[in-house]
Structure 1
Amino acid sequence: MRPKHVKDGFSSRRVFIFAAIGSAVGLGNIWRFPYVAYEGGGGAFLVPYLVALVLAGIPLLYFLYSIGHRNRGSAPLSLRRFSKGAEWIGWWMVLVAVVIGVYYAAIIAWAIKYTFLSFNLGWGDDPATYLNSDFLQVAENAGPSMDYVPQVLLLMIVVWVVTIGVLGMGIQQGIGRTAVVFIPVLLIAFALLVIYSLTLDGAGSGLNAFFSPDWGALKDSSVWISAVGQIFFSLSIGFGIMITYASYVKPRTDMTGSGAVVAFSNSGFELLAGIGVFATLGFIAQSSGQAIGDVVASGIGLAFVAFPTIMNEAPGGALIGVLFFGSLVLAGLTSLISIVEVIIGAVRDKAGISRRAATYIVGIPMAVVSIGVFSTTGGLYVLDTMDAFVNSFGIVGASLIVMLALSWVFRKLPTMAAHMNVHGSIKLLGWWKALVAVVIPVALAVMLFQEFQDKIETPYGDYPASLVNTFGWGMAAALPIIAIILSLLPWRGVTSVEDPGDLYAEHALADGGEQA
């Protein structure tokens, strides 16, 4: 039986590409890649990074696109249409998106605050103290708290109102139009930031530190695994986004060509971020008389401590701040919108309700939980713990299992390749099947084992066992269990959950292969 069409979708391939880039380009591109590259051998890291992009990132994008584009549904529905036994993996991805969404909103709220602070460098002379004591009011004891921070709470309400509002407008009118506007603005803002940073004293030494190759690092297997991890996390792989977005694309579309554009655009932005970040770090190193290695940071420390410190010293620091934190807001919002859409699409398919109803049913509870946990004085500890464990054991775990399941248990790779090859400008042949079935799973299995070993040997963050066991190990273990339970609930929103056959490709061939 032919699958029920999703009524709303992207109006064109161009809009889909913008939306997919908006999902891929997020906070991690700006504050994770430069640090990972520096630690992985500087300029030499670009070798394993590009290898990982071509041999892991792009093939895995094609794998996910083929699931959603062929089966025209959310992650659970698309996998269910391959096999009843695969549905729970889709729900695992959806639950990973729930976890990431509730804490991701908090970081966007912080970036909004810092965008406004940038106009007068309102964080003062000691950005670390301002962040922890004045703004977040971080509790002394690590763990959840019921003490709310009003300014964080209000900003998180703003983030969720915008996110729910955009999603309520639909795929094209909301997600598509937002991406088409936000992504060019983001690129212009960050390009201006990079150009300005290159004029700072010491920028050259920062770029030398970033690009100077340490070829010896290529002998370290952990550097290659780190490159795979960076590509993996930065392309929004593993929590259902690309499956969901691909299901909204018109049937007769070149999905392999689109995937290459998205992947290289994402990596291009990461490289741009690396240039901008290290040029500014070079300035602070020179002005403080320190070595580059002493001022390099990643994550929250880079964004909300190191960069404000730079802005305090640099001429035109206010401009740098507005561009930098404004870019974080835009990148974060487009990613959060895509994350929540994964959940909305799944609920819509399963329950058979309207988009607006699904948006409220998903968005409002997520907003309540998000605000209730992460606008408190203990929110930073919970965020840090959940982020570490859901990335390692949620995203990587679900991706590893879905590749092994479709490759070896249900043997769907030939079917998926055939679908993508109908209109794809890049043909998926034996090389793609070998990468998806063997090479990438081996790399992810090694990553998973290393993370498991590290977190067993060293208690995460020296946090209390109650915090780590509840929001770390407990959360990671609960997600696949809840996913199995959700897969047992009946489907009410689709005409059929059975494999429809590749009716879209067959229809396209009959029409002479016209592309959207």
Structure 2
Amino acid sequence: MQNKHSRNGFSGQLGFVMAAAGSAVGLGNIWRFPYLAAKDGGGVFLIVYLVLVLTFGFTLLTSDIAVGRHTQKSPIEAYETLKPGWGFLGKITFLVPAIIMTYYAVIGGWVLKYVMTYFMGKGHAAASSSYFASFITSPVAPIVYGLIFMIFTSLIVYRGVQNGVEKFSKVCMPILFFMIFAIAIFSLTLKHTENGVTRTGLQGLAVYMIPNFKGMTFGKFLSIALDAMSQLFFSLSVSMGIMVTYGSYVKKDVDLNYSINMIEIFDTIVAFLAGLMIIPSIYVFAGTEGMASGPSLIFVSLPKVFNAMGVAGNIFGAVFFIMVTFAALTSCISVLETLVADCTKLFHSSRKKTTLVLTVIYSAATVIITLGYTIFYFELKLPNGAVGQLLDLADYISNSVLMPITSLLSCVLIGWVVKPKLVIDEMELNGENFKRKSIYSAMVKYIAPVIMVVLFLQSTGFWQWLSKILH
């Protein structure tokens, strides 16, 4: 069943690049990248992130895609095929999208709500500080929006790899890129005067781009590097089985070197443009203080910015949240597609039946996670010091625990067990020259495993615990 499914994969290189880039370009690029850049010294974060994309991110992305195409199997089988006895890694990898899928449609529903708000011309209501909290704690509305998002995602996956995932990505990604680019350029033209002080979009660009080394210490630099590394997981869709799945759909005559380069470039440009459209806008209307809102930046801070724009704010807000919806959909589709690929093999079921069953399961999960802000509300202190609810707990387990473990084990398997030559040979299958093979070998064997251990200890609160013990 799986082999047949794999043969009916992407039609060619363009379809693969668009779908993989669509998976990579998600909410992590739109909301997480800008607030991390604002928090971590603007240009300092950009430089560190770019270096890590070209080394650390490139290594994980290459490994996942090459393993997928080499084995022609979904993650649940790929690692056992690669090396007997390593099937447990496929099971761990399976858990990541299985958990992420429980809450991704919830966030997608939040975005849909804001699309409707701005389409109805109620941007002034969204600018209220209590609007977001009132919405997510209401008994019905967030459930309805979450289910709509879930159903739309399922319909695309139900249609198959070429007719669903690939076709949607080919249409959606150019539109998404154009919208991000247009909003980014528009943000640079903004100007606002308040209390006799005029701030411009170009000044906001300087805040975003120019490295700020003021007060920089080794500890602060390490924190910036860890933020940038954790962002790579969100940004490139690595270590969650997605790129292994997409790699298994790639034909053997496709140039993986070119494809991976294009995915890296596309994803990095979109992340950069996301910062370019958000940070100058926030700066113009709220100064540097407005950029300190962290994850709530999209749903709380930006609506205030749109409201300050006057009549144009409703149009700007509508376009922005439509763009975010596209980004959320392409990522959510890739998560569900990975689960479908795994489950068709696990349960020997057809693609359409598997998609329908998973839709029912994750619709129920969407309702439960949504109710985590009402009847199932609780406050749990996570090991990294944050306090969260059901959604935050699921996000922490998948992104801060399972993904670093998956990456570490994947690097050990490829770097020390099957050896990097297996991936290098796959990259050079059609005679192409894998120009970064020396970097790849060094990263996968020595550097990436160390980085993953440090990141895992940081995300689990080990360093905070050690600091308390030492003091």
Secondary structure of 1:124 counterpart? helix
For 1:201-260, what per-residue CA distance to the aligned partner results, in whole angstroms no more than 9, with x for missing partners? 131232221112124648522222322222232100110000000100111111121011
Task: Indicate if the aligned counterparts of 1:257 and 1:425 stay in contact, CA closer than 8 A.
Answer: no
Distance 1:419 1:438 in 2: 21
TM-fit CA distance, 1:376: 5.3
State the AA in 1 paired with 2:168: T
Aligned to 2:366: 370
8 Å contact kept, 1:281–1:295: yes
Q: Deviations over 1:412-462 (max 9, x none)?
A: 42222212212344345333111111111111111111122269749xxxx
Contact 1:123–1:130 (Cα < 8 Å) also in 2: no
Matched residue, 2:122: 121
* Counterpart in the other structure of 2:194: none
Residue aligning to 2:101: 101
Structure 1 residue identity aligned to 2:349: I
CA distance in 2 between counterparts of 1:397 and 1:306 reads 34
Q: How does 1:211-290 map to 2 (within 5 A)?
A: 211-215=209-213, 217=216, 219=218, 220-285=221-286
Deviations 1:357-414 (A, max 9, x none): 1212222212212223325533782112321332110111211122113322x32422
2: CA distance, partners of 1:225 / 1:456: 14
Do 1:37 and 1:46's aligned partners in 2 also have CA atoms closer than 8 Å? yes
CA distance in 1, matches of 2:261, 2:270: 14
Counterpart for residue 64 of structure 1: 64
Say if 2:333 is the partner of 1:314: no
Name 1:179's counterpart in structure 2: 169
Cα distance in 2 between the residues matched to 1:117 and 1:158: 16
Q: What whole-Å deviation, never above 9, does each CA across 1:63-107 have from its counterpart, x for those lacking one?
A: 111110000010121111012321121121111101111101011
Which of 341, 348, 351 is the aligned partner of 1:352? 348
Paired residues of 1:74 and 1:247 also in contact (CA < 8 A): yes
Counterpart residue type for residue 42 of structure 2: G
1:210 paired to 2:208:
yes
2:25·2:236 contact (CA, 8 Å) conserved in 1?
yes
Aligned equivalents of 2:290, 2:300: Cα separation in 1: 14
Q: Is the 8 A contact 1:9 1:171 kept in 2?
A: yes
Q: Are 2:426 and 1:419 aligned?
A: yes
Amino acid at match of 2:428: N
SS in 1 for 2:125: coil
- Same amino acid, percent of matched pairs: 29
What's the secondary structure of 1:127's corresponding residue? coil
Look up the SS of the partner of 1:85 in the other structure: coil
Give the whole-Å Cα distance in 1 for the aligned partners of 2:82 and 2:306.
52
Q: Which amino acid aligns with 1:345?
A: A
Q: How far apart are residue 3 of structure 1 and its match?
A: 6.3
Q: 1:198 aligns with which of 185, 188, 196?
A: 188
CA deviation vs aligned residue, 1:445-491 (integer Å, no higher than 9, x gap): 11111122269749xxxxxxxxxxxxxxxxxxxxxxxxxxxxxxxxx
Distance in 1 separating the partners of 2:396 and 2:48: 23
Determine the structure 1 residue equivalent to 2:142. Answer: 152
1:399–1:353 CA distance, 2 compared to 1 (3 A): same
- Give the aligned partner of residue 28 of structure 1: 28
User: Does residue 328 of structure 1 match 2:339?
Assistant: no
Once residues 5 and 27 of structure 1 are traced to their aligned partners in structure 2, the CA distance between those partners, rounded to angstroms, is 28
Instruction: Report the counterpart of residue 488 of structure 1 in structure 2.
Output: none
Distance 1:218 1:63 in 2: 33
TM alignment of 1:412-491, pairs within 5 A: 412-423=419-430, 424-427=432-435, 429-453=437-461, 457=465
Which residue of 1 is the match for residue 381 of structure 2? none
Residue pair 2:55, 2:439 contacting (<8 A) in 1 also: no
Deviations 1:143-171 (A, max 9, x none): xxxxxx21112112211211111111100
Query: Residue 396 of structure 1 aligns to which amino acid in structure 2?
Result: P
* TM-score in terms of structure 2 length: 0.88
Consecutive unaligned residues of structure 2, counting only runs of 5 or more, are 192-199, 378-387, 467-471
Report if aligned partners of 1:98, 1:366 keep a CA contact under 8 Å in 2.
no
- How far off is 1:59 after superposition? 2.0
The corresponding residue for 1:399 is: 407
Q: Give the aligned partner of residue 462 of structure 1.
A: none
Distance 1:373 1:444 in 2: 29
